[in-house]
Structure 1
Amino acid sequence: MTFNEVEVEILGLIEKDSRISMETIAKMVNKSEQEVEAIIRKFEELNVIVEYNSIINWRKVDGHEGVTAMIDVKVAPKRGVGFDAIAERIYRYPEVKSVYLMSGAYDLSVVIEGKSMSEVGNFVSDKLSTLDSVLSTTTHFVLKKYKHDGTIFDHGEEDKRIVVSP
């Protein structure tokens, strides 16, 4: 699909902040609010705007930290459907947050979330590894999230020490 410069600019603004007001967008792209609303409605109908999301720093919510794992999956693709069929089987699990077809040593990258490392381990051993097309998996646990989708989580404390020079 081809869109004009203003439409692409609107997409960029919404991607950066999905809570931005129609009024603000209209001022930034020099269009009326009604024109902006019509453009956004078109994007939603065409499934260009798929969903509006919030990024939550769960580490700051006691008792809700959870565990995120990135799993590299090597699969044997099926004739006629390639990787699509196995990717669809995997992304239908509620624990799965993302599935990507990758280049390199592994075919799929799967991001899952669980309440504990044990829960993630059970998902990998009981559900993911047992699928017919799955040949092998490698699981990586996220220890700390510094930046996600362009959002920096912890800016950290500035070094407030006084510089001492000889």
Structure 2
Amino acid sequence: MLDQKAYEILQIIEANGRLESNKIAKMVDLTSEEVDQYVKELEDKNVILSYSAVVDWTKLPAKETVTATIDVKVAPKRGVGFDEVAERIYRFPEVKALYLMSGAYDLSVVIEGKTMQETARFVSERLSTIDSVLSTTTHFQLKTYKHDGVIFKEPESDKRIVVSP
């Protein structure tokens, strides 16, 4: 079981994975070595799975991709439920995220492709052909406003007039 310090460290790392141990230590009233020990233990227990950056790819047009969210209706299999079909889907390299959902659809799949055609081919040729998949609805992402808690907005410039004596 995790103690309160572990939860505090996790919240800090989730907000900023690049923060140095000595800074985290000051924030949670521990030594840098104790923070490193907590982090290693959390990584070993697979509580911390990965560290990542939020990138605004629109600033690099040559690297832009097409992102789609696909709602998938599935016929679950006896004994394994949705897990077996979910595993087949998340193994595709185009799949960036996969969630079991409540509501009209069972799975929500987030994929990335180089073009809209490539993304459409993935849905029609790979995803829809899986036996348990009954139907899909594809939503293409047009613009990102916020992702993983980060707002994608240019900082506003200071429009005040400089006054000097």
Taking structure 1 as the reference length, what is the TM-score of the superposition?
0.92
1:70-109 residue pairs with structure 2 within 5 A? 70-109=69-108
Match of residue 110 from structure 2: 111
Q: Which runs of 5+ in 1 are unaligned?
A: 161-166
CA RMSD of aligned residues (A): 1.4
**Which amino acid is 1:122 matched to?**
R
Deviation, structure 1 residue 57: 0.6
Deviation, structure 1 residue 156: 6.3
The 3-state SS of whatever aligns with 1:23 is helix
Distance 1:136 1:159, change over 3 A: farther
Match of residue 33 from structure 2: 34
Off by >6 Å, runs of 4+ in structure 1: none
Q: Quick one: distance in 2 between partners of 1:90 and 1:111? A: 11
1:15-164 residue pairs with structure 2 within 5 A? 15-155=14-154, 157=156
The 3-state SS of whatever aligns with 2:61 is coil
Deviation, structure 1 residue 62: 2.2
The 3-state SS of whatever aligns with 2:88 is helix
Q: Which runs of 5+ in 2 are unaligned?
A: 160-165
Q: Quick one: distance in 1 between partners of 2:60 and 2:79? A: 46
Distance 1:159 1:71, change over 3 A: farther
Distance 1:159 1:138, change over 3 A: farther
Task: Give CA-to-partner distance per residue, 1:19-54, whole Å, 9 cap, x none.
Answer: 000010011111111111000000000000000011
Pairs aligned (count): 159
Q: Quick one: distance in 1 between partners of 2:110 and 2:157? A: 32
The 3-state SS of whatever aligns with 1:81 is coil
Match of residue 8 from structure 1: 7
Deviation, structure 1 residue 3: 1.4
**Which amino acid is 2:16 matched to?**
D
Q: Quick one: distance in 2 between partners of 1:158 and 1:117? A: 35
Match of residue 164 from structure 1: none
Taking structure 2 as the reference length, what is the TM-score of the superposition?
0.93
Identity of aligned residues (%): 59
